[in-house]
Amino acid sequence: GNSVTQMEGPVTLSEEAFLTINCTYTATGYPSLFWYVQYPGEGLQLLLKATKADDKGSNKGFEATYRKETTSFHLEKGSVQVSDSAVYFCALNTGGFKTIFGAGTRLFVKA
Amino acid sequence: NAGVTQTPKFRILKIGQSMTLQCAQDMNHNYMYWYRQDPGMGLKLIYYSVGAGITDKGEVPNGYNVSRSTTEDFPLRLELAAPSQTSVYFCASTLRGPLDSPLHFGNGTRLTVT
């Protein structure tokens, strides 16, 4: 079946460090891929998405590229801030009503 | 602009008790969803609805019921609470299907069953 695997956290970085959170997926067909972010005490919110191979999603300095050959959608940011501390979820949808989420990766950014 | 509103924020239930988790959205979204989030796991879909009067099961529907009498409201009912239902519950909505529209989540209800 369809699944999403994310790197385990927590990830702890200093401010202005480079961030990578790995995400790989297994899916039949051609899924759309998403990154959602959950700030403390809040619900998830969409950070970025990509709908086909080689698409790059970007938002708020975060980027992720849909790599079909490696079935990956790694999240990157060049310079993290304390305000980026949150839980990040990789997700996919193949066209139905069920969006498949990874387990989430908690990011701590120290000043 | 409230978005998706869930109540209560926290609740502790005893085994066998029942309760209703409330969810309301003011964005005129047709599609609504209930997810549960367990520690170290991704979100699992419990039930969803594509419009008033229409509901369907997701991945983990056992022990839950839903209704959708209006576009705005999508309550989730637990009839006989069990410890396995200890979780954080999120309600979400989309304008169209989730492939085409981002999921808008509420802030969650943390439920403990003891």
From A95, A86, A69, select the one nearest A13 (Cα to Cα): A86
Looking at residue A31, its amino acid is P
Give A69's contacts (C-beta < 8 A, 6+ positions apart): none
For CA atoms A99, B87, A62, A70, the dihedral sign is negative
Residue A53: what pLDDT? 93
Residue B83, helix vs strand vs coil:
helix
Query: What does pLDDT average to in each consecutive run of 10 residues of chain A (111 residues)?
Result: 91 97 93 95 93 95 96 97 97 90 96 95
Residue B1 pLDDT exceeds 70: no
Predicted pLDDT at B96: 87
β-pair type (A105-110, A11-14):
parallel
- Is A43's CB within 8 Å of B90's CB? yes
CA distance A56 to chain B (A): 17
Q: Which of B38, B49, B103 to mutate to test the interface with A (most CBs of A within 10 A)?
A: B103
> Comparing B11 with B41, which gets the higher pLDDT?
B11
Q: B27-73: per-residue pLDDT in tens?
A: 999 999 999 999 888 899 999 999 999 999 999 999 999 999 999 99
Strand-pairing partners, residue A13, are: A109
Residue B51: the pLDDT is 94
Query: B residues 51-110 near A, CB within 8 Å?
Result: 56, 58-59, 90, 92, 97-99, 102-108
CB B58 within 8 A of CB B44: yes
* Nearest Cβ partner for A103 among B42, B98, B106: B42
